[in-house]
Homo-oligomer: A and B are copies of this chain.
């Protein structure tokens, strides 16, 4: 990689940060209607930054909700194509009173940028733009690889528009690999590629007992209680050790390969630190015969995200509630079929609903787990670029979360995704005082530039060997 690229980055650090700060000042909160124009402004900012970088065919694409931004540069004949993805919308900043500096006025403290979106995902997606700009400038207006960009403004509210767009524009978005920077380093300074994401089946369950709320004195002892019925039902979903009791749920679960398990053991993971500083409770839970990393990366879950029913105001009201609802999800691991899981869950609910209670399950989303082959040339190239830039071997981890767009790139475009993120576990995404380490912002730009450069070479060799 020409030293001019890294030099260009070094010489432009102040400008890059200034631009990022301008980007971060736009309160592009996608879930709040009053910020709709801010999301649109952020889209325009992104489009302009792509044009300034030398990207062509830049367009802001109107959708039903928030716009998408597309751009490409496709003159690297015979070279592979990378589809860069990121999102320019952010979570609401509440609770505001917990922020030490205003969420939309970036502030630098201890080498970190504090702002909503600093890490998730403005700071990270902007690395893609700046990496391409650096490559372009250092190569006399040319890139060593073909690139397409697709950025969205709805990631924090479900990403419906991009999902529709991807399925309708397969040819336009055709690429060899996708690049997503919306994940984190396992720990600061450790080059990390994520090669597995859990899937997710998210449901809403409603229980109905009596026809209306009843007086608990007049009917207590004889009338079914919707809240208690839902409690009885859900309590049966896991045993005391956290093992899911829904028949068939573990049928398709494939244990991670021995080599992967061994590699996890080498990660700098301290269970008591994790309990104390990340979880903050008195004990960890879950299957005792599985390591913590296995439990969060390679095992399905059953989680109740919320429950509501009956009287919950101040004081006392003696009702037997007629209705109760809960949000229930199951995280899935590779090979689990979301449809089979949905069916198994519905059957289990039906068979375990207590006497006098009726239940209804509504499926809000269902997507499979993703696993990426670490031997794929793009992943291999990314791992080497990462290791070279940070000076340590790259580790391959999984994430317990789900990034739906990665599944859509796999299903609709048939391409794997390089999940190369530069956040840190304590960056506080979705929380007050979200931050992004400045050194990781520049390490990201450098690593991505290096990856694109080397993938242009390696990927081209691969394309040749295919022909």
A residues adjacent to B (C-beta < 8 A): 158, 198, 200, 202, 208-212, 214-225, 227-228, 231-232, 234-236, 238, 240, 242, 274, 278-287, 290, 292, 295-296, 299, 301, 303-312, 315-321, 324-327, 329, 331, 354-358, 364-365, 399-402, 429-431
Contact = CB atoms under 8 A, between A and B. Distances in A.
Contact of A401 (B200, B217, B400): B217
A222 B356 contact: no
Contacts of A301: 216, 220-221
Nearest to A325: B312
Given A202-B316, A219-B296, A310-B327, 9 more contacts: A200-B217, A220-B296, A220-B301, A220-B331, A223-B281, A281-B357, A304-B321, A306-B309, A306-B321
B235 A221 contact: no
8 contacts: A198-B217, A217-B399, A217-B400, A220-B400, A222-B295, A224-B279, A225-B304, A228-B238
A153 to B, nearest CB: 17
Given A281-B211, A321-B305, A234 B240 contact: no
Contacts of A315: 158, 364
A330 to B, nearest CB: 9
A73 B280 CA distance: 66
Contacts of A303: 216, 220, 225, 228, 318, 320
Contacts of A219: 278-279, 296, 400
A361 to B, nearest CB: 14
A307 B310 contact: yes
A281 B218 contact: no
Nearest to A353: B282
Contact of A242 (B202, B217, B221, B292): B221
Contacts of A317: 305-306, 327
Contacts of A402: 217
Of A216, A242, A364, chain B has the most CB atoms within 10 Å of the CB of A216
Contacts of A214: 278-279
Contacts of A324: 307
Nearest to A429: B215
A224 B327 contact: no
Closest A-B pairs by Cβ, 7 of them: A211-B280, A217-B401, A306-B310, A235-B235, A221-B295, A306-B311, A308-B312
Contact of A222 (B198, B212, B235, B286): B286
A403 to B, nearest CB: 9
A351 to B, nearest CB: 14
Q: Could you say which of A219, A278, A286, A317 has the most chain B C-beta atoms within 10 Å of its C-beta?
A: A219
Nearest to A280: B211
Nearest to A401: B217
A278 B212 CA distance: 9
A376 B208 CA distance: 44
Nearest to A310: B306
A314 to B, nearest CB: 9
Contacts of A274: 222
A413 B296 CA distance: 63
With a 10 A CB-CB cut-off, give which of A210, A221, A358 has the most chain B CB atoms. A221
Given A210-B280, A307-B231, A318-B200, A216 B431 contact: no
Nearest to A31: B315
Contacts of A198: 217
A400 B210 contact: no
A292 B222 contact: yes
B307 A227 contact: yes
Contact of A364 (B304, B316, B319): B316
